[in-house]
Structure 1
Amino acid sequence: MTTTSTPDESAGTAMTDEEYGALRASAALWVGSSVLITDQRGQVLVQHVDYRDTCLLPGGAVDKGESPAHAAARELHEELGITATVDRGLAVDWVPARGLDASAPLRFPGEILHVFDGGTWSDDRIAAVRLPEREITGIEFVEPADLPGLLAPGDARRALAALRARIDAGGAVLLEDGHPIAPSVLDTAGVLRTARARHHYPFHAAPVPDRLVVRQSWVWAFAPDGRVLVLLEPDTGAACLPGGTPEAQDHDDPEATLRRETAEEAAAELSGALYVGYLSDTEEPCARVRYAAALTRLGPPAVDPATGRTYLRILTTPEQALDLFDWGPSAIEQLAAVHHARDRLGLPHARRGPVTELTGPTTW
């Protein structure tokens, strides 16, 4: 029997099955699977191992005849003692031989590495982890921005790309040596490469007490589809909601502050602002208030006079926005209050989907 149309020869060239099989075997790639797991704060699970200096995501090699998804589930059970169904892919990475951090005798034509979504783990599930007697010496949950300092460079790029793909909800991404071949705005902005804003303050869906001074006024600015406006710093990828610090011209009116700041930072106009609540800063006794409002207009990107930056403007669901911050346990309470305000504004609950960048003027 003969085979035609081989990978490196023109159509019609005949080869025996043996020759064709040998050719395919000579180009074989190593296949591996890993699992991206986060805790309820959005920190990523990494494993410390006894056979290398850098950490790893849970995972390993795909056995002969095994599917990548089955391998990921098997490795979770072997390494962490957790039984789970792994059925959502986040990234597929082609790693060329030149990208392999290995000695010459251990190198091979390349690797295909799959990253699967292990979901968000509760404290109870984390407590159920049981490590094997050897190889895995410990686990910890770390900030996404800390991954490059803990993982090998290619592993860190792959993990961050997979995490951005999970937040973006646009489907699995294809990578080459950890770099997306079709980067999203989260990739181009470098989201999560710097530490997320950390505001672990209690949230109160109540008026600000007279004894507290308002130090910040931020807004959940809703588009008609129920998504919210988030700003990304162009040089760091850090995310923030529109808003800022009161100034004298605001005359102690937090709503005036957020309207002014939103216009300066995002060239955006708002309507129907509703008070949501406040965060009580326990480090500096003050209040950081939150509003919800409807977006009515967006002008061309402008330079923020306070920072000299031109922010990238994106629309995400409120839930996706929370993935970009580290707001602690009270984030869920704030989210509930924000959705209550969204209902009052008569806007829909947005379904999770790809993040959209707003690059030009828009009127709603």
Structure 2
Amino acid sequence: MPQLTDEAVPEQGGAATDEHRRAGTWMTPEAYGASRAVLWTGAVVLVTDVDGRVLVQSVDYRADRMLPGGAVDAGEAPSAAAAREVREELGVDGCYRRGLAVDWIPADTPGFPAGMRFPGEILHVYDGGTWTQDRIDSVRLPPQEITGIHFAEPADLPDLMDAGDARRALSALRARINGCGTALLEDGRPTVPTALDRLGVLRTRREPQHGAWHPGPVPARLPVRDRSGWLFAPDGRVLLLIDRATGAAQLPPPTAAPAAGAVELGYRHGDQGVHARTAARLTGLPPAADPAYARLLATPEQVRELSDWGRAGDDELAAVHTARTHLSLPAPPRTPPTELPEPGSCW
């Protein structure tokens, strides 16, 4: 911030006081105020349902879908604006204080009419949490402006929303999964990308596995489609594979790395066969066998949030934590998933 003075700043070549000879830029309050950038301020709310789909709404003044939210009024706090907008647009009361992202939207962003003289905007994205069906059923739309809502698969957002809005929503959703605080964005892109951002996780539709969860071994009469493992590192996180080409997340096969204490955790029975799960403690990690996949360590909750497992996913998650306790491993705190080095690790 420049130093301020109530006196006029001498023109070049004019007389200068001792104060004006000091190092630094001297400005009157009026000149300083006129020099500051003028930006709009907005606030939106990211809400998901229990399946990890994002709430978007249709409006009567544009074709693109949008997150709930809008402009921050003069003298209004952004969090208060977020609560007001959700109440006005959806008829749902709430308090949204956890920021997921703050985005700088440049003045030359396409789509704004020239007569609007869009100066750029600082947009706050708040966490609206996960809404149950009862809360969704309580939505009451106003007589105009909002024409409908639906919950969209994260990978479908670029097809439904303006490109910048979709980037911002996906970055905010990854920030929520990371659990590392508010992400700073510039035109929807994180200034410090995490592993989930760099790998473009959630840009591809998740594979649905909505079959009921059954604990224990797979009965001999049932065909096994695939086997995957909850492979625990010593800190209680688990190994997760990310397809570098698509950003798709999946659990590794049980044989992906040396492990000990393996147990048959359970299985999910769907139309295409059985998805069998085991749990074990990693004893090491060999060099990456397939460079097409990145290897991350993530909490079990993060794996759940990156997957489309339906309500039975909660039952599987409970079984995973029971197995973790049985293996005498700690409950990991939520931190951003960590990409493992190609040469592997040894514990």
- 1:77 Cα offset (Å): 0.9
Aligned counterparts of 2:332 and 2:151: Cα–Cα separation in 1:
29
Matched, 1:269 2:258: yes
2:183 is aligned with 1:177: no
Tell me if 1:156 matches 2:163.
no
Residue 44 in structure 1 maps to residue 27 in structure 2: no
Alignment-derived partner of residue 167 in structure 1 = 177
Match of 1:18 among 30, 42, 46: 30
The 5-angstrom pairing of residues 28-43 of structure 1 reads 28-43=38-53
Distance 1:84 1:3, change over 3 A: farther
Structure 2 CA distance, aligned partners of 1:3 and 1:322? 60
Q: Distance in 2 between matches of 1:108 and 1:85?
A: 29
Tell me the equivalent position of 1:314. 296
Give the drift of 1:107. Answer: 2.9
Residue number among 330, 334, 344 corresponding to 1:361 in the alignment? 344
More helix by share: 1
- Give the drift of 1:106: 1.4
Alignment partner, residue 253 of structure 1: none
Contact 1:273–1:293, Cα closer than 8 Å, also in 2: yes
1:290 is matched by which residue type in structure 2? Answer: R
Which residue in the other structure is 2:19 paired with? none
Distance 1:206 1:298, change over 3 A: closer
- Listed as ranges, the matches of 1:177-326 within 5 Å are 177-243=187-253, 258-259=254-255, 262=256, 268-281=257-270, 283-284=271-272, 286-303=273-290, 309-326=291-308
Aligned to 2:128: 118
Compute the RMSD of aligned alpha carbons.
1.7
Q: What is the TM-score normalised by the length of structure 2?
A: 0.91
Q: 1:142 aligns with which of 137, 152, 156?
A: 152
1:19 and 1:292 map into 2 onto residues whose CA distance is 66
Gaps of 5+ in 1: 244-257, 263-267, 304-308
CA 1:212–1:315 in structure 2 vs 1: closer, same or farther (change >3 Å)? same
Tell me which amino acid in the other structure corresponds to 1:342.
Answer: R
Cα offsets for 1:169-228 (capped at 9, x unmatched): 111111111111111110111001110121111110133223212221110001111111
**CA–CA distance in 1 between the matches of 2:178 and 2:154?**
15
Once the two structures are TM-superposed, the CA of residue 229 in structure 1 deviates from its matched residue by 0.7
CA distance in 2, matches of 1:175, 1:11: 34
The answer (yes or no) to whether the contact 2:245–2:292 under 8 Å persists in 1 is no
Amino acid at match of 2:313: A
In structure 1, the residue matched to 2:99 is 89
Q: Secondary structure at the match of 2:169?
A: helix
In the alignment, residue 188 of structure 1 is paired with which amino acid?
R
- SS, match of residue 301 in structure 1: coil
Give the Cα separation in 1 of the matches to 2:346 and 2:6. Answer: 60
What is the rounded CA distance, in whole Å, between the counterparts of 1:11 and 1:83 in structure 2?
A: 53
Deviation at 1:278, TM superposition (A): 1.1
- Counterpart residue type for residue 358 of structure 1: L
C-alpha deviation, 1:69, in angstroms: 1.0
- State the Cα deviation string for residues 211-262 of structure 1 (Å, max 9, x = none): 212221110001111111100001000000001xxxxxxxxxxxxxx32xx1
Distance 1:17 1:36, change over 3 A: same
* Conserved 8 A contact 1:77-1:83: yes
Name structure 2 gaps, 5 residues minimum.
10-21
Q: Measure how far apart 1:100 and its partner are.
A: 4.1
Question: Is the 8 Å Cα contact of residues 41 and 122 (structure 2) preserved in structure 1?
Answer: yes
Describe how 1:75-86 pairs up with structure 2 within 5 A. Answer: 75-86=85-96
